[in-house]
Structure 1
Amino acid sequence: MTDAKIQHYVPKFLLRNFGLGKKDQVWVFDKKLGRSFNTNAKNIASESRFYDFEVGGDEHSLESALSYVETRTKPVIEKILSRDSTASLNAEERGTLAAFLSIQLLRTRAFRAQWEEFPLLLRRKVEAMKLEVAPGSEMEELIRSPSENQVKVDSARMLLRAPEDYGPHFLDKHWFVARTTPAHPFWIGDNPIALQNQTERGPYGNLGLGVPGIEIYLPLSSTRALGMWCPSLAAKFAEGAANIRTLPRHLVERVARKPDRMLAIDECLRTEGGLDYEPMTVMNFNSLQVARSERYLVSPTQDFSLAQRMISDHPEYRTGQRIVDSMAPR
């Protein structure tokens, strides 16, 4: 057990990077209530005894272990921010960051809410198939809603395995730094690792750490984010850039609509440097945080009009993404 009662599922050192520059104050948008407010970063993305659980009558907690991971990761992220690049990270630093990303993927309230849905999902399938469930059977156990403590135990087991299970997927990607300006800041949500895939959706979806074409993002500050792209995307831009460099100028427009942008992206992916984002790209970036977040969004400004518009058009965004909802008939 730990003496820390309030436990964060997004580290305070990250949230502070989205502050106003004074006393760790940030602007927060509450999707559930549809309002914004100003508060200290320590008050967001945290719950009382979130990582504490009981096994066989003994009390345990992951809080100290997670604090240790954060302590090791903080200087790695500071190095990225100071150099505007991931190129100088050594193998140990990359491994540390990959482990942190793997854990951050699963440690949030949003993930807990999704995990709690699985018995409901199974119950619906059983009902749809009109199967009889015998009292005391293994099936009855599977479709029974778990206790809060059981959800915490299950979550702890997955968190302990996360670096081994997911770390290689993060290390396999092409890393770079996405850049914006204070006038168009990045947001960070309470479920901050966002996935996007602009390739064709397959029969089982196209969002997954190992799926071809995946783009993964973690906001690092209000003007910087870590981008991680599938090698297939890097190869696509490398091929396009090679054509641009070899073709006569009058034929370049036939190869790429924005040749200078393609060259910049290829350069960024090859060197692990920085890539400037235009306001529309920043808007897309922030929209991922809106969709992924369970409840809260954090920004250095009070302008959350994008979140308000998205929720108005899609009321389901008031909460985080739900597996059951995504599988409901349309």
Structure 2
Amino acid sequence: MVALTKNQHFVPQLLLRNFTTDGNEDVLLFDSTRNKVRPSSIRKVLSQNYFYDDDNSVENFLAEKIEGPAAAVIDSIVANPKQVIKPGLPALLTFIAVQMMRTPSSNTQALNFVNSFGGQVIEQIAALNGLPIESAKSLRLKPTDERAMRNHLLLRSTLNRWLLEDLSWHVLSNETNLPFVISDHPAVLYNWYLRDSDDPGYTAMTKNGVQIFLPLSPSITLALIDKSVYKFGEKGNSHTVLSHRRDVELLNSLQFRARQDFIVFPRSLDEHYIVRSCASIPANSLMTVHSGRTDPVLVSGDKLSSDVYVWKTQARYDQWLSVCKIKRRVSKKSLDYRDRRPHTTAAYIAAARDFFKLPKRSA
């Protein structure tokens, strides 16, 4: 009988292994909730008992279909960061797309969306019935089976790679004395181009100007870039050396903001830098969920109608990477917050609806 995996990683060991020292399995872990630094084996960090399932069906799917195909590619990039990565490489795109949705932080964001929407509905009902709104605001919805919700998001994320295949690979090599760190939500998205947009959907991965960063080791970060918007590094080169500490601090700050609880870092890094950074940068602060509603209006007979809106905003950065510039022809035009490939986005929505039995949007 095959032994079941009890301790299930939400950040795979194939990433964590690159943050060890001298080939052993040890890293340093900062628990920002408890404000404690401790050494630990990568076998025991960024994981939970039965995080996905009891029977290993999801755990095995991740190992065989997501992590396995990407492992050799990631190891190759770390070993030779100057190599050209095949455009739209399915194994790597799928790995990144799934990594963005398989963590406790992504689950928290999803629950925040649910509660923001549900809270607005409950508050509206309370107001219409003369009940205290403050009592309604304190209500929090919680799924009866969090793992089922988490696994639904995870499986749906396998389709997300189609939304990323037009982005360009770029490898960032860190030659400063400050290593990259990795958080418990390591694949992070930011849109520098649309940072001043007032469009409620500007944080979506389908929009113009998307950038995604994933640290692969203390010296390597892999990026996906919308090259139609940005000039990134030297023209015609998909590898860039970072020699300014400020660039590394900025990329690390994305990890600090995206974390739920934990930061993993190599023993060579001063732990006080991690502690200070987490003290000044709140957890789960890269994206913030907002909600609102319109006033109810009479539509027919005694029926009232009100629209509820839920959206995300990203943390404000006043400066960005020194190696990244918005192209001149793009900067001269007004912000274009449309989807990069609307037909692909529409096909993705249709596929997700068919695969996961989602209700159709009303016209």
Instruction: Determine if the TM-score, normalized by the shorter chain, exceeds 0.5.
Output: yes
Letter in 1 for 2:5: A
Does structure 1 conserve the Cα–Cα contact (< 8 Å) formed by 2:98 and 2:157?
yes
Tell me the equivalent position of 1:67: 63
In the alignment, structure 1 residue 81 sits paired with structure 2 residue 78: yes
**What is aligned with 2:263?**
297
Counterpart position of 2:251: 285
Residues 192-231 of structure 1 aligned to structure 2 (within 5 Å): 192-199=186-193, 200-203=195-198, 204=200, 206-231=202-227
Q: Which residue of structure 2 aligns with residue 46 of structure 1?
A: 47
Corresponding position of 1:21: 22
Taking a change above 3 Å as real, the CA distance of residues 77 and 173 of structure 1, as seen in their structure-2 partners, is same
- State the 1:208 CA deviation: 2.6
Q: Pick the aligned partner of 1:308 from 268, 275, 282.
A: 275
Query: Structure 1 stretches of 5 or more lacking a match?
Result: 54-58, 134-142, 238-261
Deviation at 1:41, TM superposition (A): 1.1
Distance 1:171 1:198 in 2: 19
Tell me: CA distance 1:306–1:127, structure 2 relative to 1, closer, same or farther (3 Å): farther
The answer for the alignment partner of 1:266 in structure 2 is 234
- Is the contact made by 1:294 and 1:320 (CA closer than 8 Å) also made in structure 2? no
Aligned 8 A contact 2:167 2:226 in 1: yes
2:158 aligned residue: 163
TM-score, length of structure 2 as denominator length: 0.68
For residues 290 and 3 of structure 2, the distance between their equivalents in structure 1, rounded to whole angstroms, comes to 35
Q: Is the 1:31–1:319 contact (alpha carbons within 8 Å) kept by the matching residues of 2?
A: no
Pairing of 1:112-123 with structure 2 (within 5 A) = 112-123=107-118
The reply to whether residue 110 of structure 1 matches residue 105 of structure 2 is yes
Q: Tell me, in whole angstroms, the C-alpha distance in 2 between the residues paired with 1:129 and 1:85.
A: 56
Check the 8 A contact 1:86/1:176 in 2, yes or no.
Answer: no
Instruction: Using structure 1 for the length normalisation, give the TM-score.
Output: 0.75
Q: Which has the higher helix share?
A: 1
TM-aligned CA deviation for residue 60 of structure 1: 6.7
State whether residues 185 and 259 of structure 2, in contact with CA within 8 Å, keep that contact through their aligned partners in structure 1. Answer: yes
Cα deviations across residues 12-54 of structure 1 (Å, max 9, x unaligned)?
A: 011010112242111111111122111111111100001116x
Q: Indicate conservation of the 8 Å contact 1:196/1:216, yes or no.
A: yes
After TM superposition, give the deviation of residue 109 of structure 1 in Å: 1.1
In 1, the alpha carbon distance for the partners of 2:284 and 2:157 equals: 28
Alpha-carbon separation, structure 2, partners of 1:103 and 1:318: 18
Structure 2 CA distance for aligned equivalents of residues 31 and 158 of structure 1: 26
2:174 to 180, 187, 193: 180
Percent of pairs identical after alignment? 23
After superposition, the C-alpha distances for 1:59-104 in whole angstroms (9 at most, x for unaligned) are 673000101121111001112222213524376xx11111111111
| Structure 2 CA distance for partners of 1:118 and 1:208, relative to 1, 3 Å | closer
Task: Look up the equivalent residue of 1:228 and give its one-letter code.
Answer: L
Q: Which moved more, 1:285-294 or 1:191-200?
A: 191-200
1:127-146 equivalences in 2 (<5 Å):
127-130=122-125, 144-146=141-143
* Distance in 2 between residues matched to 1:2 and 1:121, nearest whole Å: 41
CA-atom RMSD in angstroms: 2.9
- Check 1:211–1:309 CA distance in 2 against 1; reply closer, same or farther (3 A cut): farther
Q: Over residues 106-135 of structure 1, what are the superposed CA-to-partner deviations in whole Å (9 max), with x where a residue is unaligned?
A: 1111112222333422232024324569xx
Q: Which residue of 2 aligns with 1:251?
A: none
Residue 185 of structure 2: aligned partner: 191
Q: How many residues align?
A: 278
- 1:320 shift after superposition: 8.0
8 Å CA contact 2:211, 2:223 repeated in 1: yes
SS at match of 2:228: helix
Alpha carbons of structure 1 residues 88 and 110: separation in structure 2 relative to 1, 3 Å: closer
For 2:113 and 2:87, locate their aligned partners in 1 and report how far apart those are by CA, in whole Å.
Answer: 39
Deviations 1:284-325 (A, max 9, x none): 0000000001111111134244443344335x4278855369
| Per-residue Cα deviation, 1:246-284 (whole angstroms, up to 9, x for no partner) | xxxxxxxxxxxxxxxx7xx133xx332333342110000
Between stretches 27-36 and 4-13, larger displacement belongs to 27-36
Q: State the match for 2:349 in structure 1.
A: none
Preserved CA contact (<8 Å) 2:28 2:37: yes
